[in-house]
Structure 1
Amino acid sequence: MSEPSVCVVSGSVVVGVDGSPASVAAARWAADEAWRRGLPLHVLHAGVEDAGSGLPEIDAPASLADAALRELPVGLLREHPTLTVRAHRTAGPPVRALLDAAARAELLVLGSYGLTGLPGVLVGSVAGAVCARAAGPVVLVRAGQETEQARDGKERPVVVAVDLDRPADALFAQGCAAAAARGVPLHVLHARTARESEPDTALRDAVRLWRSTCPRVETVERLVSGHPAHQLVKASDGAALLLVGRHGSAGERLGHVAHAAIRHAACPVAVVAHD
């Protein structure tokens, strides 16, 4: 099933794996999402030839990567027998390979390693670099996060966090696709700050326009007061997926709001670039 080079087709879901618990969780989430959307799944290990980088996602033992490529597709097909799964390995810088995959894929899914305990340090250096630069949406999944249905049986909405000062069409479109695939409502969340005038009107107008492009999904406006990072993390508790935007020119760093969501959100987080 393994192939010597990466051949990711457009309209697929790609998951980067290294054999770690976080990447296994990411693979399961990616398989669920690919099956839900009727897309093929590509399982990718992007490695380097020289070890000793000091980054856990780069220096994962080769045996773990081999096992991931060999065993993960088999397990995923047991859960979703109709899913098309392909496995790939590529040498060279992981960030470059993952960015190339993200440019062609519908979604790129990566494992997140949780809290580092170091203030200001983004969780997972490779995942952080990819999120900050990817042309397409990147979903981060932590080991232990719910990936399908809430244990309490309640319906969990998809939450899109919008900044009314920035374009959010791409962000809304991704949120709409995720909500439609799950058959759940889409909550459009805006955290109001003291400097804004009539944010309720601006949010209402924006959502009214977006609704016309996504008629199959129930769209709910949520206007809250407080620091955006805090409100996003709060909203993630009970959400199926949280989507946050990244400015297209962000370069090597994510904004502090997206950073906080990645580090602290209770559900998987999708980072979507917008202009």
Structure 2
Amino acid sequence: MSRPVVAGVDGSPESLAAAEWAAREAVRRDLPLHLVHASDWAPDRAPSAAASAVRRHVGRGVLRKAEERIARTCPGVRLTDEHAEAPAAAALTNAAHNAELLVLGSRGLGGFTGFVVGSVARAVVARATRPVVLVEAGQRSEDEHLPDEDGNMSLLTPYRDVVLGLDLSDPCDEVIEFAFEAARLRGATLHAVHARDDASTVALAPGEPGIGEGPRHEEEWRAFLAAVLQNWRDKYPGVEVNETVVNGRATTHLVRAASGAGLLVVGRRVRETHLGPRTGPVTLNVIHHARCPVAVVAHD
């Protein structure tokens, strides 16, 4: 059975934009869309029967609002919904386990507008084992496409690039495959970016000197990036690939590359610390500052 695309909705502009983006992605992938609304009660205070009834009524209204908007903007999608009476982060993380990908509003699902990414979205990104896409309020279908010759937004122009942030010290197949598949579905160019610093070193084989030791040769890094991507080029021959190796902070260069992109894809290593699940600093900074939708792909 196919996994659905899942979107978390709470009625906010961010979550409605996320639901629309998720609907378009579901159509691109020929998958159903499943909407989830969570009543965010505290786990130490179970709601009364009356409170539960109110929450169900409110939740149904939130889901109906999202469904009506999707019906206007993406009528061909197969749609189901769910009201989960549980803490939002837990409910959405659980929904993500059975999803092809989970889509959330990038200012969070609890109305924490003081943060670029709210506490619920941050918690889900840190815990979900499936890809999570974060979408800003105001994102429209035209925003995924390049402007026309007159600089106007259009649905008739090619899709904007898919940008892949790639760490060559730990290139991950799940992250690379997600980016290539996203580019294939859109007929978009894939722009792979690796940012290195002066201290970075990658060994090509045991016992061999690593790239970055001694004089820094950018061509060596480019050749290594090309080698990492070659199998994926062979698997996705229709995807045009541009490769960039730059020196400096990864966050700065990825946010810059994403400024004109349709989607930015980054990875998150699945790891537990004494403080619980964590999101790496580059990925966390990128999802706070990138202005296009960001896909965070978990990997071992």
Q: TM-score, normalised by structure 2?
A: 0.78
Contact (CA 8 Å) 1:162, 1:244: kept in 2 or not?
Answer: yes
Q: Aligned residue for 2:241?
A: 219
Tell me by how many angstroms 1:146 deviates.
Answer: 4.7
Once the 2 structures are TM-superposed, how far is the Cα of residue 10 of structure 1 from its aligned partner? Answer: 4.2
Pick from 94, 113, 117 the counterpart of residue 107 of structure 2.
113
Give the aligned partner of residue 254 of structure 1: 279
Task: State yes or no: 1:143 paired with 2:147.
Answer: no
Please give the secondary structure, in 2, of the residue aligned with 1:189: strand
Instruction: Tell me what 2:251 maps to.
Output: 229
Amino acid at match of 2:29: R
Q: For 1:137, give the aligned amino acid.
A: P
Q: Percent identity?
A: 45
Partner of residue 239, structure 1? 261
Are 1:247 and 1:273, in contact at CA under 8 Å, matched by a contact in 2?
A: yes
Determine if the alignment matches structure 1 residue 41 to structure 2 residue 37.
Answer: no
| Residue aligning to 2:68 | 74
Q: Following the alignment from structure 2 to structure 1, what is the Cα–Cα distance between the partners of residues 18 and 63?
A: 14
Cα distance in 2 for partners of 1:11, 1:101 equals 11
- What TM-score do the two structures reach when normalised by structure 1? 0.85
State the alpha-carbon separation in 1 of the partners of residues 237 and 59 from structure 2: 42
Q: Secondary structure at the match of 2:121?
A: helix
The amino acid across from 1:199 in the alignment is W
Which deviates further from its counterpart, 84-93 or 42-51? Answer: 42-51
Q: Where do 5+ consecutive residues of structure 1 fail to align? A: 1-8, 54-60
CA contact (8 A) 1:10 1:104 kept: no
- Computing the radius of gyration from Cα coordinates, the structure with the larger value is 2
How many residues are paired up?
257
Over the aligned positions, Cα root-mean-square deviation in angstroms equals: 2.5
Q: 1:126 to 1:244 in 2, by over 3 A?
A: same
8 A Cα contact 2:7 2:36, kept in partner? yes
CA distance in 2, matches of 1:39, 1:15: 13
Which SS does the other structure have where 1:243 is aligned?
A: strand
Which of structure 1's runs of 4+ aligned residues deviate more than 6 A?
none
How far residue 49 of structure 1 moved from its aligned partner, in angstroms, is 3.7
1:15-39 C-alpha deviation (Å, 9 max, x unpaired): 0011111101111111111112211
Aligned to 1:16: 8
1:159 aligned partner: 163
Contact 2:161/2:190, CA 8 A, preserved across alignment: yes
Stretch moving more, 213-222 or 229-238: 213-222
When structure 1 is superposed on structure 2, of 144-153 and 77-86 the one drifting more is 144-153
* Residue 50 of structure 1: how far off its partner (Å): 4.8
Indicate the larger mover: 216-225 or 166-175. Answer: 216-225
Structure 2 counterpart of 1:138, one-letter code: V
Instruction: Tell me the CA shift for residue 218 of structure 1.
Output: 1.4
SS of corresponding position for 2:184: helix
The counterpart of 2:79, out of the listed 85, 92, 99, is: 85
Would the aligned equivalents of 2:6 and 2:95 in 1 still touch at CA under 8 Å?
A: yes
Runs of at least 5 residues in structure 2 that lack an aligned partner in the other structure: 46-53, 201-211, 213-219
